[in-house]
Amino acid sequence: MDERNVLQGRIRDLAKRADSRYYMTRTGFLSPEEQAMALQLLRSPEFSGIRYAFKGGYPEADRRVLVFLPAGMEEDDPEPESAVVCLRVKPRSARFTDHPGHRDYLGALMHLGITREVIGDILAGEEAAFLFVLPEMAEMIQSELTQVRHTSVVTEAVPVSECTASQKRETVTGSIASERIDALIGMVFHLSRSAAKEKIEQELVFAGGLPVKSVSYIPREGESVSVRGYGKFIYRGAEGRTKKGRLVAKVERLL
């Protein structure tokens, strides 16, 4: 059985249990590709009336948990919000730290024998990192995650609302012929239009969590676009035109 069928079977089971037994159910953390597969299934007639939400701990999260809501429960109720726990990881001594990065934190977690579906996004800053994890693993990680690379660390749970880390961003502007997604990808990642088209045809481009099927797709203002292997940006719209009539586009690239 391939990964798509396994995921679809899992979603059907969780949705049925939430709908018939009146309690919240959820998946582990899903990658953007898995979220896209889930959304395609959830938008089919089979799931008419099923209530669900994606939770990642912060608005721009890449990895998110799919939560199924029973009757009477709203997306912003305490229980759905608790589907993700935020852990803050700080060096024991600011004097003796080499500022671990995303890969270092992920490696330290994998070394504990934790599977990837337990871990959401990892936001690594200079003073602290924030890890988004499943609730049932939070206590173990707090206890066992004491070193990242060469740095001794202290790990503690903090309210998701207090997770102050955010991904670094840079503003990118450039002139493009149109707001088509292939033009935007070319501008942001310095690719030719043909190379951008190839990424779309290979289903490596996602907008708003869904795979982009056409090079002529135009992202909405505020919509996130990710290109597998290259990164992610948020489209902020066109700011005018050049003297030659080309659009001046603005995006925020997540670093």
The domain that contains 215 carries what CATH number? 3.10.290.10
- Asked if residues 24 and 68 have their Cβ atoms less than 8 Å apart, the reply is yes
Whether 124 and 173 share a structural domain: no
- Asked if residues 87 and 158 have their Cβ atoms less than 8 Å apart, the reply is yes
Whether 39 and 110 share a structural domain: no
CATH number at residue 61: 3.30.1370.50
Phi-psi region of 71 (alpha: psi -120 to 50; beta: other; left: phi over 0): beta
Whether 21 and 68 share a structural domain: yes
Whether 178 and 235 share a structural domain: yes
For position 188, what pLDDT does the model report?
Answer: 95
d(CA 36, CA 25): 19
For position 176, what pLDDT does the model report?
Answer: 93
Question: In the chain, how many domains are there?
Answer: 3
Say if pTM beats, i.e. exceeds, 0.95: no
Q: Which of 21, 56, 81 is the last residue in one of the domains? A: 81
The one-digit pLDDT tens for each residue of the chain (255 residues) are 577 789 989 999 999 998 888 889 999 999 888 888 898 899 899 998 899 999 998 877 889 999 999 888 888 788 888 899 999 999 887 765 677 888 899 999 999 999 999 999 998 877 889 999 999 999 999 999 999 988 899 999 998 777 766 667 789 999 999 999 999 999 999 999 899 999 999 989 988 777 898 999 999 998 889 898 888 899 999 988 998 889 999 999 876
CATH number at residue 139: 3.30.70.330
| Range of the structural domain that residue 41 is part of | 3-81
For position 97, what pLDDT does the model report?
Answer: 62
d(CA 120, CA 130): 10
For position 224, what pLDDT does the model report?
Answer: 87
